[in-house]
């Protein structure tokens, strides 16, 4: 059962983001006179759900902060940037080792002005950085221009002129690949994984003491309540269908209560993760026998009474609802565990699809035993083995509760759950589970055991092996099987391994020339100094032994920093969306390359090319699935000629 539970959770992973131009923030600047000699430039930002914009005056080297640069100020003096609307959120970020301040949904940044003359003119731009739980955008500039006695003047930047454009290398030509199609397929695959995980959770719930004993009694009731066997089977089918409807409705309710934006933020927000940690600890202790979680008995009594009097389809539905209430002490922790996992994936359909899989598994035996009633005689009888299932699930829930505590720990910067501490706790839990399965530890609800069964012995062996597998992780080994759950390598207190990957080139054209000379394919890493998820990918994926080995041995790695403020030796002039655009910095250049060649503008963004600039294997964004990244690299190698 440990292996089944672990498989259920390991199957839940995120998918690559679509390759597309993202515009999650809309900014409207305006000029407002506030007095005879005072005015303001107000920047009203509307931020899409799931995204946030960093505040101004951040300390240290962190993400892109909001700032204003002036190209012209005549008869006018500008103050410092402030904000007048919007709730500022402050969280400690482990990767940047600093407190980050940002806004969600909306904010109005205000630039106060003092007018020293009746004739004034001001021209400049607001720059800000935006991120969500998966991507960050390059620095975004919003130009503004105002003068006395005139309407706002838009910075045209010579839009109609195509003269003097910078000649681009042939390797800059846009690619036409299957990145979007493969990512859509990956999203579909992810929903299938959620469904299968829900199905597995439902199968586990079946063999708990609260559900399994009810199955033969309920099926027998339906088959005996009518002399017509066909009608009895039909009622059993309706009963199973009612179970599916009830749990799918639960998934829909969870989705409506949280909404898409909240589900997107659950994976990184500190408070929800602390709640999930506490919830799983409570569920785990309940399964160990410390207490029993039950709904008020009058609820089930009332529903059962109504089902007896209602009759027909409505009565059968109420009987199914009675089952959900009576079995809650066993199914509740499993449902809660499933909903927590799929909700933190940020997929709006996750809770509903997960509950669909769970309900189908739970309803399946009622339907099958109604079709084949003779199977009831050979079905396993209830016994102490069911309590063993509960205890095994308790250890799994306690182990994965630490995952959510780790997220909150990183968010607040407490430093109480480093990677070695996390692995130590998992090692102890795995070892204790092995001891329990061998009968060395007993809990209040356990029956005396005269011997250890073969299945229990094999599971104990797997538990001890899993504990030993994690021991090298205390010294810096990657432990790939748990890397998606453990804290990042940056929290490793004692590391005997150095798996860092370093860019061979920070310039696209130079890197492509080198790749042609060496006859190697290219991996482009669009990154940013202020990109939080870029650092996560570097620490959790690119530092993996096998990933690092493939990149270093088989590819030319070109890292392009889109927020690099180093001025170009000469400005570049390019056409974009019918406009003539000036590129002044190195970051501008690489940001344009990403938009122009790949039709994307979010980081991190990884793409594999041959040394002529043609796509080999689509693209990938933020996704800490190491095996999937290895498959991505191997696919590019296999297609390179």
Q: What is the pLDDT of residues 172-217, one digit of tens each?
A: 888 855 443 344 344 444 677 778 888 888 888 777 766 766 666 6
**CA separation for the pair 4, 10 (Å, rounded):** 10
pLDDT reading at 304 higher than 70: no
**CA separation for the pair 263, 342 (Å, rounded):** 9
**CA separation for the pair 473, 426 (Å, rounded):** 11
> Which residues, 6 or more positions from 422, have their beta carbon under 8 angstroms from its beta carbon?
402, 406, 486, 487
- Asked whether residue 381 falls in the same domain as residue 496, the answer is no
> Dihedral of CA 526/191/251/400: which sign?
negative
How deeply is 544 buried, as exposed, middle or buried, from its count of CB atoms within 10 A (0-12, 13-18, 19+)?
buried
- Asked whether residue 531 falls in the same domain as residue 634, the answer is yes
- Asked whether residue 536 falls in the same domain as residue 405, the answer is no
- Asked whether residue 386 falls in the same domain as residue 508, the answer is no
Please give the C-alpha separations between residue 548 and each of 64, 302, 545, 620, in angstroms, as whole numbers. 28, 61, 5, 16
| pLDDT band, residue 162 (cuts 50/70/90) | very low
- Asked whether residue 410 falls in the same domain as residue 539, the answer is no
Residue that finishes a domain, picked among 367, 389, 418: 418
Residue that finishes a domain, picked among 371, 390, 418: 418
Residue 210's pLDDT is: 67
When mean pLDDT is compared across 148-152, 314-318, 390-394, 461-465, the lowest value belongs to 148-152
> Dihedral of CA 583/585/587/589: which sign?
positive
Mean pLDDT for the stretch of residues 492-511: 77
**CA separation for the pair 21, 599 (Å, rounded):** 6
146 found inside a domain: no
User: Nearest Cα to 320, choosing from 363, 372, 370, 384?
Assistant: 363
345 found inside a domain: yes
Highest average pLDDT, of 27-31, 304-308, 499-503, comes from 27-31
Phi first, then psi, for residue 225 (nearest 5°) are -70, -15
**CA separation for the pair 442, 216 (Å, rounded):** 29
Residue that finishes a domain, picked among 381, 396, 418: 418
Highest average pLDDT, of 49-63, 119-133, 255-269, 352-366, comes from 119-133
**For the residues of 490-555, what is the DSSP string, one character each?**
GG-SS---------SBS-HHHHHHHHHHHT--EEEEEE-TT-HHHHHHIIIIITSHHHHHHHHHH-
Residue range of the domain that includes 66: 25-131
Count CA atoms within 13 Å of residue 243 on its CB side.
Answer: 27
Please give the C-alpha separations between residue 199 and each of 206, 244, 338, 345, in angstroms, as whole numbers. 11, 12, 10, 17
**CA separation for the pair 361, 355 (Å, rounded):** 10
- With both helix axes pointing from N to C terminus, report the angle between 179-206 and 328-343 in degrees, rounded to the nearest 10: 170
Strand, coil or helix: 130: strand
For residue 77, what are the β-bridge partners? 114
Residue 2's pLDDT is: 37
| pLDDT band, residue 406 (cuts 50/70/90) | confident
**CA separation for the pair 610, 25 (Å, rounded):** 34
Please give the C-alpha separations between residue 74 and each of 42, 79, 124, 145, 175, in angstroms, as whole numbers. 19, 14, 12, 12, 46
Query: Can you give the CATH number for the domain in which 62 is found?
Result: 2.60.40
| pLDDT band, residue 28 (cuts 50/70/90) | confident
434 found inside a domain: no
For residue 115, what are the β-bridge partners? 76
- Asked whether residue 248 falls in the same domain as residue 396, the answer is yes
- Asked whether residue 213 falls in the same domain as residue 97, the answer is no
218 found inside a domain: yes
Residue 153's pLDDT is: 41
Strand, coil or helix: 186: helix
503 found inside a domain: yes
- Asked whether residue 326 falls in the same domain as residue 412, the answer is yes
Q: What is the pLDDT of residues 65-96, one digit of tens each?
A: 898 988 888 888 888 888 767 788 888 776 66
Record the pTM.
0.50
- Asked whether residue 127 falls in the same domain as residue 200, the answer is no
590 found inside a domain: yes
**CA separation for the pair 226, 232 (Å, rounded):** 6
Could you tell me how many residues make up the chain? Answer: 641
**CA separation for the pair 577, 599 (Å, rounded):** 12
Q: How many helices (H) and strands (E) does the chain have?
A: 18, 18
User: Nearest Cα to 390, choosing from 266, 208, 633?
Assistant: 208
Residue 377's pLDDT is: 64
pLDDT reading at 385 higher than 80: no
Phi first, then psi, for residue 415 (nearest 5°) are 75, 25
475 found inside a domain: no
**CA separation for the pair 286, 278 (Å, rounded):** 12
Query: Can you give the CATH number for the domain in which 631 is found?
Result: 3.40.30.10
The rounded Cα 148 to chain-centroid distance in angstroms is 49
For residue 609, what are the β-bridge partners? 522, 615
When mean pLDDT is compared across 16-20, 68-72, 138-142, the lowest value belongs to 16-20
> How many domains is the chain built from?
3
Under DSSP, the state recorded for 139 is P
- Asked whether residue 501 falls in the same domain as residue 615, the answer is yes
- Asked whether residue 126 falls in the same domain as residue 219, the answer is no
- Asked whether residue 257 falls in the same domain as residue 338, the answer is yes
301 found inside a domain: yes
User: Nearest Cα to 400, choosing from 210, 250, 273?
Assistant: 273
Cβ pair 126, 108 in contact under 8 A: no
Mean pLDDT for the stretch of residues 317-330: 68
The rounded Cα 624 to chain-centroid distance in angstroms is 9
């Amino acid at each position: 059962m440990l292996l089944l539970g672990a498989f259920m959770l390991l199957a839940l992973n995120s998918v690559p983001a679509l390759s597309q131009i993202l515009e999650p923030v809309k900014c409207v600047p305006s000029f407002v006179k506030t007095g005879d000699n005072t005015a303001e430039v107000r920047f009203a930002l509307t931020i899409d759900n799931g995204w946030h914009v960093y505040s101004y005056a951040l300390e240290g080297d962190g993400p892109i902060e909001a700032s204003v640069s002036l190209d012209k100020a005549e008869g006018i003096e500008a103050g410092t940037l402030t904000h007048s609307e919007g709730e500022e959120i402050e969280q400690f970020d482990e990767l940047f080792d600093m407190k980050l301040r940002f806004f969600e949904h909306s904010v109005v940044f205000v630039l106060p002005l003092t007018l020293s003359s009746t004739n004034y003119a001001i021209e400049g731009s607001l720059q800000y950085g935006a991120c969500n739980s998966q991507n960050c955008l390059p620095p975004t500039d919003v130009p503004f221009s105002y003068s006395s006695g005139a309407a706002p003047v838009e910075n045209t930047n010579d839009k109609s002129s195509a003269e003097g454009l910078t000649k681009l290398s042939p390797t800059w030509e846009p690619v036409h690949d299957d990145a979007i199609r493969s990512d859509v397929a990956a999203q579909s695959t992810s929903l299938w994984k959620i469904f299968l995980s829900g199905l597995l959770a439902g199968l586990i719930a079946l063999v708990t003491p609260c559900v399994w004993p009810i199955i033969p009694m309920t099926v027998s009731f339906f088959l005996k309540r009518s002399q017509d066997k066909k009608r009895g089977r039909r009622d059993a089918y309706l009963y199973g269908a009612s179970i599916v409807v009830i749990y799918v409705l639960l998934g829909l309710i969870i989705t409506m209560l949280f909404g898409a934006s909240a589900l997107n933020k659950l994976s990184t927000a500190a408070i929800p993760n602390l709640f999930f940690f506490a919830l799983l600890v409570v569920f785990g202790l309940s399964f160990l026998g410390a207490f029993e979680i039950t709904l008020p008995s009058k609820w089930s009594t009332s529903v059962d009474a109504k089902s007896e009097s209602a009759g027909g389809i409505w009565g059968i539905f109420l009987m199914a609802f009675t089952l959900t209430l009576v079995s809650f002490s066993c199914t509740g922790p499993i449902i809660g565990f499933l909903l927590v996992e799929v909700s933190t994936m940020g997929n709006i359909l996750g809770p509903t699809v997960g509950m669909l899989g769970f309900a189908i598994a739970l309803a399946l035996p009622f339907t099958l035993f109604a079709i084949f009633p003779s199977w009831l005689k050979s079905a396993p009888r209830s016994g102490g083995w069911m309590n063993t299932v509960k205890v095994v699930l308790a250890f799994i829930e306690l182990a994965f509760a630490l995952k959510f505590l780790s997220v909150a720990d990183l968010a607040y910067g407490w430093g109480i759950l480093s990677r070695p501490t996390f692995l130590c706790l998992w090692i102890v839990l795995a070892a204790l589970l092995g001891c329990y399965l061998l009968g060395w530890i007993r809990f209040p609800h356990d029956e005396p055991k005269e011997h250890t069964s073969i299945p229990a012995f094999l599971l104990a062996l797997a538990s001890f092996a899993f504990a030993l597998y994690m021991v090298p992780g205390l010294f810096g080994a990657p432990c790939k099987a748990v890397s998606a759950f453990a804290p990042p390598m940056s929290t490793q207190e004692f590391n005997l391994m150095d798996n860092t990957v370093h860019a061979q080139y920070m310039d696209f054209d130079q890197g492509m020339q080198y790749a042609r000379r060496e006859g190697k394919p290219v991996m482009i890493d669009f990154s940013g100094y202020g990109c939080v998820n870029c650092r996560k990918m570097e620490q959790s994926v690119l530092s993996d032994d096998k990933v690092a080995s493939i990149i270093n041995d088989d590819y030319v790695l070109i890292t392009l920093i889109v927020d690099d403020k180093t001025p170009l030796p000469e400005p570049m002039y390019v056409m974009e969306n019918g406009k003539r655009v000036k590129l002044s910095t190195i970051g501008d250049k690489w940001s344009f390359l990403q938009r122009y060649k790949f039709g994307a503008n979010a980081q991190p963004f990884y793409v594999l090319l041959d040394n002529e600039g043609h796509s080999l294997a689509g693209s990938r964004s933020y996704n800490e699935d190491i095996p999937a990244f290895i498959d991505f690299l191997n696919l590019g190698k296999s297609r390179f000629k």
